[in-house]
Structure 1
């Protein structure tokens, strides 16, 4: 068994940690096979695509490396609770994206929330990008910042117009990209859910719903003590 390779980085002016793990799962081919036979359905919670259930032992397989990352990098040595996790494939055409899907976002503002994206496409492709809101300088949105940030963003959108029908992958008039992690087979990126981010889906990227050829990932949201 190949030992996972772990790299921790700090990004942006706020120096928030992100972690990149190569070789995250011990048997990614079995995961791909499970995805190819899974029943995908339209996603909820603003995800621009489809999702399906994971094998029941997924977190048993990755828990040792995940627990070490949460403890050593993010300072969470207590219990890890799973909030939500699934196979995910981006499929929504740019013309169908909602306003929320055309902007960087955060997954949660509560402390202790962690996001995980595990890339399972065989070909390197679109990864995950992280952003700074230009007007406020915010790179993370916590409970104290949330109301003021949303009010300011809404004012900018009302005065300057809605964002174009496109995925966010680079700088925009309202947001500056601070970092990007490219997709690579069996690579995972782990970060605090409060960081502004987006799937870095490039213009013209194929949006294939077939798990054998599409942008197959595992997306997960955790709560850590």
Structure 2
């Protein structure tokens, strides 16, 4: 039976970019992370992408106990780091994810930074189950607008500006010339990072030649998205 107990590792918070968005990180998140790889290896993965975009690889269901544990443990640190006050989780979902698409198979949407939501109370919790050779996650500022996060109010201006711009030739690196890198978190086995889903970001994949659909060999992560509400 797989244990989903988190390790008593230090969580660090750092502000990045002009907007000072917080990245909450741990370099040793779970006590028995290799059990998660065993679970992933026995799970049925399906493509998560289409011709127009989506996650550039495969996904499988995460155990509900894992999602519940990570949300319960991180709710307090997230509240403190992001100055949210008393909060409660409204919705949480997640998946094992493996990047598999080669550079030349990516759609335009997959070759540019993105946000997962414009809701400032939704958070992405990313748990790396692979090594540093698989890249990491990069965060960006859109040069033309100066935006590092997107809201419903900002979307019209952002979309109008992006309509005349392009995308990278493969996976996003520095984002130039349309975006500027504000921070990068390197992949590292059992490393965890949490950030608002409205922050512009992209997976950093330095070489698609290292990608594999095998959970034991590929760019495996556990991804959780949790939406909080103020608990009055």
Q: After the TM superposition, which residues 117-136 of structure 1 pair with which residues of structure 2 at under 5 Å, given as runs?
A: 117-122=126-131, 125-136=134-145
RMSD: 1.7
Q: After the TM superposition, which residues 1-225 of structure 1 pair with which residues of structure 2 at under 5 Å, given as runs?
A: 2-44=7-49, 46-76=54-84, 77-122=86-131, 125-155=134-164, 157=165, 162-225=166-229
> Structure 2 vs 1, CA of residues 171 and 163 (structure 1 numbering), >3 Å: closer, same or farther?
closer
> Structure 2 vs 1, CA of residues 175 and 205 (structure 1 numbering), >3 Å: closer, same or farther?
farther
CA shift for structure 1 position 142? 0.8
What is residue 3 of structure 2 aligned with on the other side? none
Give the TM-score, by structure 2 length.
Answer: 0.89
Tell whether the 8 Å contact from 2:138 to 2:181 is kept in structure 1 after alignment.
yes
CA shift for structure 1 position 25? 2.2
Segments of structure 1 that go 5 or more residues without pairing to the other structure are none
Tell whether the 8 Å contact from 1:106 to 1:197 is kept in structure 2 after alignment.
yes
Tell whether the 8 Å contact from 2:113 to 2:140 is kept in structure 1 after alignment.
yes
CA distance in 1: counterparts of 2:12 and 2:99, whole angstroms: 26
CA distance in 2: counterparts of 1:169 and 1:49, whole angstroms: 18
Moved more, 17-26 or 182-191: 17-26
Moved more, 101-110 or 19-28: 19-28
Tell whether the 8 Å contact from 1:96 to 1:165 is kept in structure 2 after alignment.
no
Tell whether the 8 Å contact from 2:67 to 2:94 is kept in structure 1 after alignment.
no
Tell whether the 8 Å contact from 1:124 to 1:185 is kept in structure 2 after alignment.
no
CA shift for structure 1 position 82? 3.3
How many residues are aligned here?
Answer: 220
Query: Which contiguous aligned blocks of 4+ residues in structure 1 show a shift greater than 6 angstroms?
Result: none
Give the TM-score, by structure 1 length.
Answer: 0.91
CA distance in 2: counterparts of 1:115 and 1:205, whole angstroms: 27
Q: Which has the higher strand share?
A: 2
Moved more, 75-84 or 213-222: 75-84
Tell whether the 8 Å contact from 2:101 to 2:208 is kept in structure 1 after alignment.
no
- CA deviation profile, 1:16-42 (whole Å, cap 9, x unmatched): 111112222232111111001100000
